[in-house]
Structure formats: C-alpha cells, structure tokens
C-alpha cells in the first residue's frame, strides 16, 4: 500500500502544477509549460490508476488505454469519461509533436477540460482509498 500512497501524493502534486500553470495568462512559454505539465500529470495519473487497480481490485493492466478500459469495467469511470480519457491518451501521444504550432495550440485549448477529468478520477481513487482505510 505504501507505493499506492506515494503515487497518490505524486499525482496530487503533478495535478497541482498543471492547475497552477493553466491559471497564468497565455504566452507561448506558458502554453509549452502547460503541455509539459499535462504530459507528466497524465503519466502520474495513469500509473496511480494502474497501481490502484492492482492493489484494490487485483487487476493488472499495462498501458494507459488498458487501464482506462479496466476503470470503466469497475465503474471508476463512466462511459463518457472513459471515452474522454481515451482521447486524452491520444493527445498525450501527440505532445512530442508540439513543435508544430497547430498541434500545440489544439492541445493547449483542451487542457482545462483534461485537468478537470483527471481531477475527477483522482478524487474517485482518493475516496476509494479512504473507504479501504487508507489515508488520502
């Protein structure tokens, strides 16, 4: 359980950094920093989800999309949320192409919605952990 608690704390910090940068006025530097923070926040969240599914449900998953599908099966995510998360995975996969201005702009515009969705899943995982006697 210790690793799960560590992942929860790391993810909380990562999401906080994304929220912080998205509150800043737009500049190209803020856009690029936001995209970078989105990337590591997403990585932190899916790895938290992976660990949570394994520790709490006995489910092994090995990729973000597989973990999202498992979260749907266990009702951690609604069908609409799962669909939005699968789109988010595709956006995360595009971040290596943010040197293309149009891609960077398109991803940046989606980040507030992505953050909201990530925070919802984080909150559900945190609540489930508290329900199993784990501090959140």
Residue ranges of domains in the chain: 2-131
State in Å, rounded, how far the first CA of the chain is from the last one: 12
Per-residue pLDDT of 47-71, as tens digits, reads: 999 999 999 999 999 999 999 999 9
- Determine the 3-state secondary structure of 27 from DSSP: coil
| Interaxial angle between packed helices 101-131 and 28-52, expressed in degrees from 0 to 180 and rounded to the nearest 10 | 30
Mean pLDDT of 115-128: 97
Q: pTM for this one? A: 0.92
Cβ atoms 42, 92 nearer than 8 A: yes
According to CATH, the superfamily of the domain at 2-131 is Nucleotidyltransferases  domain 2 (1.20.120.330)
């Amino acid at each position: 359980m210790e690793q799960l608690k560590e992942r929860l704390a790391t993810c909380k910090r990562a999401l906080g950094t994304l929220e912080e940068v998205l509150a800043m006025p737009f500049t190209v530097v803020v856009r690029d920093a936001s995209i970078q923070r989105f990337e590591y926040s997403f990585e932190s969240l899916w790895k938290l989800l992976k660990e949570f599914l394994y520790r709490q449900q006995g489910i092994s998953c090995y990729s973000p999309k597989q973990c999202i599908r498992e979260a749907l099966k266990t009702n951690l995510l609604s069908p609409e949320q799962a669909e939005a998360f699968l789109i988010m995975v595709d956006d995360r996969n595009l971040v290596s192409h943010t040197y293309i201005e149009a891609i960077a702009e398109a991803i940046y515009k989606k980040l507030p919605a992505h953050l909201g969705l990530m925070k919802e899943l984080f909150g559900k995982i945190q609540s489930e952990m508290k329900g199993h006697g784990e501090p959140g």
